[in-house]
Amino acid sequence: MRKPNKIPITRPTLRPFSSYARHFKRSINSGLLTTNAYVKEFEEKLAKRLGVRNVVAVSSCTAGLMLVMRGLGLTGEVIMPSFTFSASGLPLAWNGLTPVFADIDLATFTVDPKAVEKLISPRTSAIFATHVFGVPCNIDALTRIAKKHKLKLIFDAAHAFGSTYKGKPIGSFGDAEVFSTSPTKVLTTGEGGIVATNNDTLAAYVRKGRNYGDDGTEAIPHAGLSARMSEFHAAIGIISLSDLTKNLKRRLDQAAHLKRQLHALEPRLKFQTIPPDTKTTYKDFSIYVDPAILGYTRDDLQTFFDSRGIVTRKYFFPPLHRHATYQHARKGSLTITTIVAENVLSLPLYSHISRTDINRIIREFKTFVHDRKKS
């Protein structure tokens, strides 16, 4: 029997090359390859879509966060979840800030505001929260805590372009929200990041900061980065943005079908809770495998899927507090973080995945469940 093709965990949803060609040609012919007309157009369209005063396109989410944290003058400790992508802690490391890891909510996998408040010390300067897999954090509670304790509030919104909280797009909350447009994200530019903020001073800082810190006089009052977005990346982003509504809809439809069918096959399987007043992007489709209830582990299921050519990922394992880079961190109790990091598995999902492939994942899961019952 011929081995079926591998189903990748994700792929960027792109148009045929001809859609990009004339934009690349125009950039080449203009002789202006970075932070020019396409970047400006991309930023304007993003600001409009997000309903935010300022958008600054940068070379990555990581670079955007490095500049935002520097621009807000953060010092000492920053409270953040340990259950987030391993790179989320890097902007702290590069700014000499100490991460303080707070536990998460068992249902939504986002940082638990009560755990955050307990960890506030005289050295705390900010709360830095991730919208996990596109599910918005408890923004109201975090905003209240940040105001009460005079802390800055920043969101790692890498997963959440297209998510909403109480009807408002993610992008305008806190002091700043930073998106990634790397190829695994729903909105993509190839590589890139987007800083969204209603703080004009911060936006001006990031704008200079992405260009070495140059204030326009070639003086460098602050140490910036080389973190511009090229015209080619912005052109890809403009097209990705115009396809976003359609792509999100396809993605959410596939996720709903997958969730329904998996639940029908195994009603005791758990899923990330999406609070009723929010919309997620399903940047990742994550299942929660409780071995005490199901009699098998997340790792058993991953090994099985792997043998069937279905690529899955243990997002986010190990959690940050177990990485050597973050050993200097302070931390609260991370009981739920540990359990969730050990039990969740992300299944393949991308905007143009076929229903055939989704059904193959469902069929293989059915085989797995049946084999378990027999043995």
Ligand X SMILES: *Cc1c(COP(=O)(O)O)cnc(C)c1O
Minimum Å gap between C-beta 20 and ligand X is 20
Quick one: which of 103, 105, 156, 177 contacts ligand X (CB under 6 A)? 156
Helix (H, G, I), strand (E, B) or coil at 252: helix
Minimum Å gap between C-beta 368 and ligand X is 28
- CA 159 remoteness from chain centre: 2
Residue in the block written with tokens 């100490």:
98
Residue 328, CA distances (Å) to 89, 156, 336 in order: 12, 21, 21
Toward ligand X, which CB reaches closer, 88 or 197? 88
Alpha helices in 31-188 (DSSP H): 37-50, 61-71, 90-94, 113-118, 139-148
Strand order of the sheet with strand 168-169?
A: 168-169, 164-165, 278-279
Closest of 259, 244, 321 to residue 84, by C-alpha: 321
Binding mask 179-198 for ligand X (x = CB under 6 A): -x-x----------x-----
The Cα 303–Cα 196 span in angstroms is 40
Toward ligand X, which CB reaches closer, 59 or 343? 59
- How many residues bind ligand X (CB under 6 A)? The answer is 14
Minimum Å gap between C-beta 69 and ligand X is 13
Minimum Å gap between C-beta 41 and ligand X is 20
Minimum Å gap between C-beta 131 and ligand X is 8
Toward ligand X, which CB reaches closer, 92 or 262? 92
Quick one: which of 70, 152, 159, 360 contacts ligand X (CB under 6 A)? 159
Toward ligand X, which CB reaches closer, 87 or 106? 87
Toward ligand X, which CB reaches closer, 152 or 159? 159
The Cα 151–Cα 142 span in angstroms is 10
Q: Which stretch binds ligand X (CB under 6 A): 57-65, 120-128, 346-354, 362-370?
A: 57-65
Minimum Å gap between C-beta 57 and ligand X is 12
Residue 177 contacts ligand X per CB under 6 A? no
Q: In sequence order, which residues have a C-beta less than 8 Å from that of residue 279 and are 6 or more positions away?
A: 162, 163, 164
Q: In sequence order, which residues have a C-beta less than 8 Å from that of residue 120 and are 6 or more positions away?
A: 79, 145, 149, 151
At 215, the amino acid letter reads D
> Which residues, numbered 60-119, are part of the site for ligand X (CB under 6 A)?
60-62, 84-85, 87-88
Quick one: which of 52, 146, 158, 203 contacts ligand X (CB under 6 A)? 158
Quick one: which of 130, 138, 163, 254 contacts ligand X (CB under 6 A)? 130
- Spatial contact of 196 and 178, defined as CB atoms under 8 Å apart: yes
Minimum Å gap between C-beta 152 and ligand X is 18
Residue 89, CA distances (Å) to 65, 78, 259, 302 in order: 10, 10, 31, 27
Toward ligand X, which CB reaches closer, 78 or 262? 78
Minimum Å gap between C-beta 194 and ligand X is 9
Q: In sequence order, which residues have a C-beta less than 8 Å from that of residue 17 and are 6 or more positions away?
A: none
Toward ligand X, which CB reaches closer, 60 or 360? 60
Residues near ligand X, by CB under 6 A: 60-62, 84-85, 87-88, 130, 156, 158-159, 180, 182, 193
